[in-house]
Each structure stands twice: as structure tokens, then as C-alpha cells.
Amino acid sequence: MVESLHAGRHVGINDVKGFEDVVLPHLDAAYTLARWLVRNSHDAEDIVQEAYLRALKFFGGYHGGDSRAWILKIVRNTSYSFLEKNRSADQAVEFDEKLHTTETGQPDVEATLLQSVDSRALRKALEELPVNFREVLILRELEGLSYKEIAEVMGVPMGTVMSGLARGRFQLRKRLLGARNKEEQHGLPE
């Protein structure tokens, strides 16, 4: 049996094969999450590599369950460690009830707006969101995680996920409407 020394313990070829079977299918999701959290493709690649090394190191402690949520939690934690070391604290936003309270009764306007927005405007609006809102939107809308899976990845209660999604969607809608209104005021094509 081929073995290598990894993090002070032996990792057998069977462990590596099991690791590959469990986490490699989620490589794209891991990169997508890291890319949206740190907003830089090169940093995201480094973060995913570091996260996968951490996952391999602690693979012996993985006892089954949702492998996508497990690896995305490691990617999330690695991303936040990177942001703490390399970026200012302006990435996060404190909750302000006046700023984050959503008005009800306009789901049709939101749906129409999102259908008419081009991908470049949507990407720009997402990148402008504070990291905590961007993260929950990416996990739900791009990666298709359930509320339960997002709660597991983020280490928060499901109610926090639901309120974060509502606030994130509100902030995204506000940015998209603002960009659209600016275009209309300046006579730019939609």
C-alpha cells in the first residue's frame, strides 16, 4: 500500500481515494463560493487549494453526511480567515433595522426586474453587497443549497439564514433598481 505522511499521520491510498470521491465533485461549488466571498479569482484558487488541504488533513474526522456542506463550510472558514488577514473590516455590515427592513407586496416587480437585468449588472450589484449578504445569496441562488445546508455551512440558525436571504435580496434589488434608474436618467440603453 502506498502511504504518505500528512500532518503528522499516515494517509493511505484508500483514504485519498475516499477523500477524492467525497469532495472533488464539489470543486466548482467551492471555487464559486470562494470567488464571490473574496471577489478575486486568483485568491479564490488559493483559498480552495488551502481549504482542500485542510479537508484532507481532517478527513479522518469526517463521518459521512452532506459532503458538499462539509467542504463548503471549510471553504467559507478559509475565505474568512483570508479576508481577516488581507482585507479591512469594511467587508461586513452591522444590522440596521431601518436599512434592512423589507417592504412587502412587490414580488412581481422584483421578478420582472431580475428577468430584465443583464448578467454584468447583476454581477456588479452582487459584488457591491456586503460579504455576509453576498455569501447567503450565492449559497442559495447559485449553489442551490437548502436553508438547512446553508445554516450548516455558515454555522448559524436556519432563521438567521432566512432573514439574511431576505435582507440580501432586498439590498440586491435596491442596487439593481438604482442602477436601472441611473441608466434611464442618462438615456442609456437598458
Neighbouring-strand partners of residue 11: 4
Domain ranges in the chain? 3-89, 92-185
Q: Of 1-5, 92-96, 100-104, where does mean pLDDT reach its minimum? A: 1-5
What CATH number does the domain located at 92-185 have? 1.10.10.10
Q: Are 51 and 78 in contact (CB under 8 A)?
A: yes
What CATH number does the domain located at 3-89 have? 1.10.1740.10
Burial of 87 (0-12, 13-18, 19+ CB in 10 A): middle
Q: Are 23 and 71 in contact (CB under 8 A)?
A: yes
Give a three-class secondary structure readout of 38-81: HCCHHHHHHHHHHHHHHHHHCHHHCCCCCHHHHHHHHHHHHHHH
Contacts of 11 (CB under 8 A, 6+ apart): 3, 4, 5, 56, 59
Helix (H) or strand (E) holding 4: strand 3-6
pLDDT at residue 14 in the model: 54
139: pLDDT strictly greater than 70: yes
pLDDT tens by residue, 154-174: 999 999 999 999 999 999 988
Helix (H) or strand (E) holding 12: strand 9-12
